[in-house]
Amino acid sequence: MIIFVRKKRIVWLLFFIAFAFCLKLIFSIQGMPDLYVYSGDILFAFILLYSYFKEGVKKEDVNLLTAIATFILIYAISSYWSGSSMFGAFKASARIFLPIMVCHRLLFYSNTNIFYPLIFKLACLVILLGILLLHFGFVYLEPMYERYQWWPPAYFQNRHSTAYVVLSMYILFCALFWNTSRYRYSYDALVLIVTFYYINNLLGVRTAVVALFVFIAMRLFKELALSYFIVINYLLMCIMVFYILEDPFNAGFSEYSNLSSGRLSIYLEKMNQLANNAFLNWFIGNGYGSDLTPSLALGNVYLNAHNDFLSLFIEVGFIGVLTFLIAMLSLYERAKAQSRDPNFCFVLFVVFLSTSIISNGIMVRPIASYLFFLSIVALAKQPGLVSVK
């Protein structure tokens, strides 16, 4: 009877998780009131509270929850000390950690034989809904004018967020069919080409293209035994690089410099900002919003660091960055222990962190982040299935 009740609870839990995903995707369109935009996040938070209340806090949860609580406390203290918005600090913390907590908690239920079929259906539903909304935006929304040119309309908040959503959907697709040769060899290359076309040609987000390259390169590095996979994807990657640079051998400094979109100047200004920190601010940061400052090199436009770790260091200090890394390490250890393919799991974490080094990456884009961490859940072991060594 207890087993039956727990299985029934898991079914309902995943049903509400699926509903929260649908809310998050559907209400991410520009112009939506905040209540609608954050309705999915609110539902995710209530699901987590319900799960912790019913199942309790386990030993594996302690490090993650302690790190997150410390991060939020430091963020609140630094924001109060600097006179900035404490509510903004809580909202920014939720944006980063809610997807991580949902992933970590879902792994707790992965040892039941009903979990994987349900999570597989949930992931397929999310991908199909994402594709439907993406094309709805292309057809019915207004084009965007940015950086002196017109871009196709983007459904998911903005052009960059939409590109990272497409990237996360591709990674989720790869995770779902990680060990199915029919899909892995027949469709993976095709889906890769389509993903690249959307990210690079339609949306023009080069940092997402770089993240796609990192994902491909890491898979090649970790799967050297798959010669067919290596040849096809290596050729595709070379074609993509030549397509982006057009003439990479004759490209001058200015062509390569333009790829950074002014990031080098921004990084220098942020370093100068850090150099003016008081001693305490090196440890607890300068509070919420302190990273958004006018860039003299780019016409006094208010810009953040375009590097999530640098942004965290400015706003939450050394302690905040350290607690974030502890939280990620806690999630990685649990995900790796419960993954059918630890190598693939390692690749996912490298990709996640790399996007935050070169841009405002998946870490601060909740829609992409929820989809990305769902990939880790989709790789969880099934009862009776042998792990990949």
Q: What is the pLDDT of residues 224-256, one digit of tens each?
A: 555 455 555 655 665 565 555 555 445 544 444
Distances in whole angstroms, Cα of residue 144 to Cα of each of 152, 157, 179, 274, 317:
6, 12, 39, 35, 36
Asked whether residue 116 is assigned to any structural domain, the reply reads: yes
What integer is the mean pLDDT of 288-293? 85
Asked whether residue 358 is assigned to any structural domain, the reply reads: yes
Start-to-end C-alpha separation, the chain: 36
Mean pLDDT, the chain, whole residue set: 83
Asked whether residue 45 is assigned to any structural domain, the reply reads: no
Minimal CA–CA distance to 382: which of 331, 333, 336, 340?
340
Q: Which residue has the higher pLDDT, 292 or 388?
A: 292
Asked whether residue 19 is assigned to any structural domain, the reply reads: no
- pLDDT of 92 above 60: yes
- pLDDT of 258 above 70: no
Q: Bridge partners of 293?
A: 303
Asked whether residue 24 is assigned to any structural domain, the reply reads: no
Asked whether residue 26 is assigned to any structural domain, the reply reads: no
* Tokens read off for 302: 């208010």
Asked whether residue 315 is assigned to any structural domain, the reply reads: yes
What integer is the mean pLDDT of 294-303? 68
- pLDDT of 180 above 60: no
State the pTM of this model.
0.88
The DSSP letter of residue 222 is: H
**What total number of domains does the chain contain?**
1
Q: Which residue has the higher pLDDT, 203 or 70?
A: 70
CB 2 within 8 A of CB 22: no
Asked whether residue 50 is assigned to any structural domain, the reply reads: no
Domain ranges, residue 166: 59-378
- pLDDT of 2 above 60: no
